[in-house]
Structure 1
Amino acid sequence: MSNAAPPTPSAALPVLHGLVLAGGRSARMGRDKAALRYGVQPQLEAAFALLQPLVEECYVSLRADQQDEPLRARFPQLMDTAPGIGPAAGLLAAHAHAPQAAWLVVACDLPCLGTDTLDALRAARDPAHAAIAFRSEHDSLAEPLCAIWEPIALQRLQAQVAQGRYGLRSVLASDDVHLLRLPVAHALDNANTPEEHDALLLRRKAPGHD
């Protein structure tokens, strides 16, 4: 694992903050995905610990009704101000909190994610890029929930949401969004159902899995 310090922002690059998205309802899983354990820590704790050393400030995104939940209450929080629009609500809350900052955003339910993958995003930052994301291993489109959203991309999301459109991938379809190949295969694998969770847990426990 890299021990790299948060990068010092240049005049051309905004400061980088971190956001762990943990405001979902986990309806298909039937239990809180943030509290699932693939190792010794709840997944939210593991995601925050991974992200925090790489950014200037780090927060957990959540719904207002989750703020006193014991696991989430342990972390700096940013509450959704536009509930019911999915992860766009978390990104907009982050942008409202620090509109001049870029945000390294990760979903809380990515148990295979490692520092090398996040370092690839940070290394690709450039003033010409509105965002940095990975191409999905499944459909080659942008993966919006492990990405760096520069202020211009968040401004575009804000304008899109004002028009009643909440999808994140449409914002990342712009020509000035830089898409990378995942440096570690399956790093963004997650689970949304109990069956997928059991399969992913078994795969992570298999011999030879790092």
Structure 2
Amino acid sequence: MDNHQKHAKLAKPSLGEFHRNELAILGTNCANIRKLSNQIIQELYAKYQVAFVDADHQAAQADENSVLAHGAALEFTDKVSHRVFAYKQKFNAFQNRTVFNEQDLVLVNGNHFAAQSQIVVIDPVKPLDKKLEKLTNVQLILLTDGVSSIPDYLTNHLPAGAAVPILKMADVLALTTFIDKYLLSRLPVLNGLVLAGGQSQRMQTDKGSIQYFGKSQRLHMYEMMSALCTETFVSYASQQWVNQQEQLPVVLDSFIGLGPFGGILSAFQQNPNAAWLTVACDLPYLTAQTLNHLIENRNLSKIATCFMDSENQFPEPLITIWEPRAYPVMLQFLNQGYSCPRKVLINSDVELLQAPAVEELQNVNYPAQRQEAMARLQQGGL
């Protein structure tokens, strides 16, 4: 028996054609779909980043000034209120997901494109009885004016016992309330990752094994974060560094030699659908109250939520909530030769907070600092 596996077995993010949160609207004409999408976006844009996908199959008039007409493959225009990219190339799902990565929701004209979930409009002018194969995961049914019931072909197509909500298409407030609840139900879980470090040259010993609280700092941080996260793991560079006696769940670096950057990427490789709260183990002053403040102010529309560092100069990358959308962004930085998580935060759309007690963000890197920290903590803290 041949057990050869051609490709590595990787955990895949829960993505559709364009995004992890995508809803195709179909069952009525394109003008109605665009009008409805505009109404939804107008109600939600203050809270969410929303994109719309449509198609225009009318013959385009030639623009003699366009560089595309002269053979260019791509044109970028920086306008006053927005930026415009015009491509000649066709996109597939892999390119689409990159383009739409930083959105919260993608609305799709289902007359032209598929999406993993659907909002179905019951409009007698455009019945769906010949397009049932597009209805793979119906989340909502909308009734147009004068329609009071669902056609039998749709009822028979839906899974047995499916309780799909039904609303009037004209009730935009109820529709946007539904979408808001739908997005809230799909929030990524928050996992914890203790960055255990290793044999620190400056400290001259393993910083994760130092006992500020009568137990290793690794274990102390693991217990603190376990009370705040769905699951918590300890990040190690390799198996040889793992403290077997502690018997804690671990994430071993699969991105080798990249320090904390590799630890974060390795956690995403293990679970790309979770958000990851990463905390370095060399922060003995850090309290659960400060971590709670970070979690309570988490902005899911950003790639990350983080504090300004203890010197109030730059984002602090090692006390950060990294959202799932951060994973492809970090890989893009790595692709360009950068493995600094702080550089990712500086050059990305992040939620930047002031720490309630900035003294807690102090790293302890040297033996003298360790002795000072132990003395201060024994006396009750900072």
Q: TM bucket by the smaller chain?
A: 0.7 to 0.9
Whether contact under 8 Å (2:236, 2:242) holds in the other structure is no
Counterpart position of 1:187: 360
Partner amino acid for 1:163? Q
Corresponding residue SS for 2:284: coil
Whether contact under 8 Å (2:254, 2:262) holds in the other structure is yes
Summarize the alignment of residues 73-112 of structure 1 with structure 2, pairs less than 5 Å apart: 74-112=247-285
* Farther-moved stretch of structure 1 (100-109 vs 135-144): 135-144
Whether contact under 8 Å (1:135, 1:182) holds in the other structure is yes
Whether contact under 8 Å (1:12, 1:127) holds in the other structure is no
Corresponding residue SS for 1:201: helix
Aligned residue among 25, 43, 51 for 2:217: 43
Whether contact under 8 Å (2:299, 2:351) holds in the other structure is no
Distance 2:347 2:185 in 1: 24
Distance 1:93 1:174 in 2: 21
Counterpart position of 1:17: 191
Distance 1:205 1:68 in 2: 28
Task: Say whether residues 1:201 and 2:374 are aligned partners.
Answer: yes
TM-score, normalising length: structure 1: 0.88
Distance 1:133 1:20 in 2: 16
Shift of 1:88: 0.5
Larger CA Rg, structure 1 vs 2: 2
Q: Give the aligned length.
A: 200
> Please, what is the CA RMSD of the aligned residues?
1.9
Corresponding residue SS for 1:55: coil
Counterpart position of 1:142: 315
Counterpart position of 1:62: 236
Whether contact under 8 Å (2:239, 2:252) holds in the other structure is no
Counterpart position of 2:165: none
Partner amino acid for 1:28? R
Distance 1:67 1:28 in 2: 18
Shift of 1:175: 5.4
Query: Which segments of 5 or more consecutive residues in structure 2 lack a partner in the other structure?
Result: 1-182
Counterpart position of 2:296: 123
Summarize the alignment of residues 25-36 of structure 1 with structure 2, pairs less than 5 Å apart: 25-36=199-210
* Farther-moved stretch of structure 1 (120-129 vs 51-60): 120-129
Task: Say whether residues 1:153 and 2:326 are aligned partners.
Answer: yes
* Farther-moved stretch of structure 1 (42-51 vs 194-203): 194-203
Distance 1:161 1:35 in 2: 30
Task: Classify 1:68/1:172 alpha carbon distance in 2 versus 1 (closer, same or farther; 3 Å).
Answer: closer
Distance 2:205 2:264 in 1: 23
Shift of 1:192: 1.0
Whether contact under 8 Å (1:61, 1:78) holds in the other structure is yes
Task: Classify 1:166/1:68 alpha carbon distance in 2 versus 1 (closer, same or farther; 3 Å).
Answer: closer
Higher relative contact order (CA 8 A, sep 6+): 1
Distance 1:127 1:51 in 2: 19
Corresponding residue SS for 1:145: strand
Shift of 1:102: 0.5
Whether contact under 8 Å (1:13, 1:126) holds in the other structure is no
Query: Which segments of 5 or more consecutive residues in structure 1 lack a partner in the other structure?
Result: 1-8
Distance 2:300 2:360 in 1: 26
Task: Classify 1:28/1:175 alpha carbon distance in 2 versus 1 (closer, same or farther; 3 Å).
Answer: closer
